Amino acid sequence: MAVIHPFNALRPSAEHAAEVSAPPYDVVNTEEARALAAGNPLSFLHVSRPEIDLPDGTDIYSDRVYSKAVDNFETLKSEAPLEEEEQPTLYLYRLIMNGHEQIGIAACCSVDEYDRDIIRKHERTRRDKEDDRTRHILALKAQTGPVFLTYRGNQTIDTMVMEVTITEALFDFTATDGVQHTIWRVPDAVRFVNAFRDVPVLYIADGHHRAASASRARAETRDRSFSHMGDEEYNFFLAVIFPADQLQILPYNRVVRDLNGMTDEEFLKQVGEQFEISENANPSPRERGHFSIYLKGRWYGLKLKSNERASDDDPIASLDVSILQDRILDSILGIKDIRTDKRIDFVGGIRGTEELEKLVNEGKAAVAFSIYPTTVEDLIRVSDTGGIMPPKSTWFEPKLRDGLLIHTI
């Protein structure tokens, strides 16, 4: 049974929603965040990436940064201003990008269910990133960006969603990246709470570090409390929950800086021992089990030879990202751990294969790999077995914005 919890959202006024909203903190670096927030004192990046208001070179994990986040949050509350909902409620959050549309339920979900794997994961988290967002939550006493969850949709909830979308929206704007964001207040939250009791499990699509940090923040807050009833707001974390059949996953491509001491010909020869290689390939693979690589100004297509194919019985080994890692990145290029190896970088599919060509043509990479995207069914299958997908397996688009709905704890 999935527990969803109405909450008193802290949110901007409709007039300033577009100005306040910001990309997720973890998809931009300090320089990108500073550029995006320039000239916009209401941008939520001043709260989620507060180092942009401190001198260059400031340690992003220093005490000064979290103190600045608190100061900026208080300023934003008064200047946006941010308003607190009078009654606990739920929201619908619709995203539209290039004709693709998805609508999720914005709610708070149970930390207990996260800890017990009723909310299932597919990714390992990094301790330093957990530390950062845990400190951020505790300093602000708020969760400022939602976890992106999914579930196997059902007709009852779909119908209820459609009924709400014909009412007047709370927010409706198009961000600078062309994505339209529309939020409705749900008039009868109890109906949705009851309907989700028939949803057996939820899955984290994106936001593992946010969820893990909410769990750690709950534990620290509970340990400092004089009493703990289980219904305090810190027992829940902010999320938007989308039906799985509405999600869009783009490829998460790879570029490698060198060929591990090999010439182009030597590299291709080794690759050809396991893959059928074709020339003048399409930069974007058209089906699972196919790869495209960009090398010296040319695209090559790769397909595993029949005797080299991974078994579909193993939900992790059969992923294209796993095949690429095992058969080429590790065994040929010597990249054992893509989390720590400085020779490899990752390019989200939203940037297109032109970005891969640019990096190789400019000499910033020796070879680029274009991958067929992981599917939502892959994610669910791995999560259901308790498995962990390789790092950088999925790139979800469009992305939710920070600062539109805030959960105070």
What is the pLDDT, as a whole number, of residue 225? 81
392 located within any domain: no
**Residue 369 CA to its chain's centroid (Å):** 21
295 located within any domain: yes
CB 202 within 8 A of CB 109: yes
Residues 82 and 200 in one domain: yes
379 located within any domain: no
Could you tell me the CATH number of the domain that includes residue 346? 3.30.1760
Residues 260 and 240 in one domain: no
Task: Take residue 164 and report the two structure tokens written for it.
Answer: 């709400």
What is the pLDDT, as a whole number, of residue 302? 97
The DSSP 8-state label assigned to residue 123 in this structure reads S
What is the pLDDT, as a whole number, of residue 228? 81
Which regions in the chain score pLDDT beneath 50?
none
38 located within any domain: yes
**Three-state SS for 341?**
coil
CB 382 within 8 A of CB 315: yes
Residues 78 and 201 in one domain: yes
67 located within any domain: yes
Q: Is residue 352 classed exposed, middle or buried when 0-12, 13-18 and 19+ CB atoms within 10 A define those classes?
A: middle
Where do we find the tokens 């893990």? 212
Residues 229 and 259 in one domain: no
**Residue 84 CA to its chain's centroid (Å):** 26
Q: Is residue 328 classed exposed, middle or buried when 0-12, 13-18 and 19+ CB atoms within 10 A define those classes?
A: buried
Residues 164 and 259 in one domain: no
Residues 244 and 257 in one domain: no
Where do we find the tokens 């306040």? 20
Residues 262 and 224 in one domain: no
Strands (E), 86-225: 91-97, 100-110, 119-120, 142-143, 147-151, 171-174, 180-185, 202-206
**Which of 44, 47, 55 has the alpha carbon at shortest distance from 17?**
44
Q: Which domain range does residue 260 map to?
A: 252-372
Task: Take residue 38 and report the two structure tokens written for it.
Answer: 């320039």
- What is the number of structural domains in the chain? 2
CB 156 within 8 A of CB 247: no
238 located within any domain: yes
The strand pair at 202-206 and 119-120 is best described as parallel
For residues 369 and 367, give the distance between their C-alpha atoms in angstroms, rounded to a whole number. 7
386 located within any domain: no
CB 322 within 8 A of CB 390: yes
Residues 58 and 175 in one domain: yes
Q: What is the DSSP string of 360-388?
A: HHTTS-SEEEEEPPPPHHHHHHHHHTT--
Residues 195 and 258 in one domain: no
Residues 56 and 109 in one domain: yes
300 located within any domain: yes
**Which of 139, 385, 391, 92 has the alpha carbon at shortest distance from 241?**
92
Residues 97 and 137 in one domain: yes
Residues 317 and 197 in one domain: no
pLDDT in tens, 212-233: 999 999 999 998 887 888 889 9
**Which of 221, 29, 58, 277 has the alpha carbon at shortest distance from 48?**
29
For residues 347 and 180, give the distance between their C-alpha atoms in angstroms, rounded to a whole number. 23
Supply the Cα-derived Rg of the chain in whole angstroms.
22
Whether this prediction's pTM lies above 0.85 is answered by yes
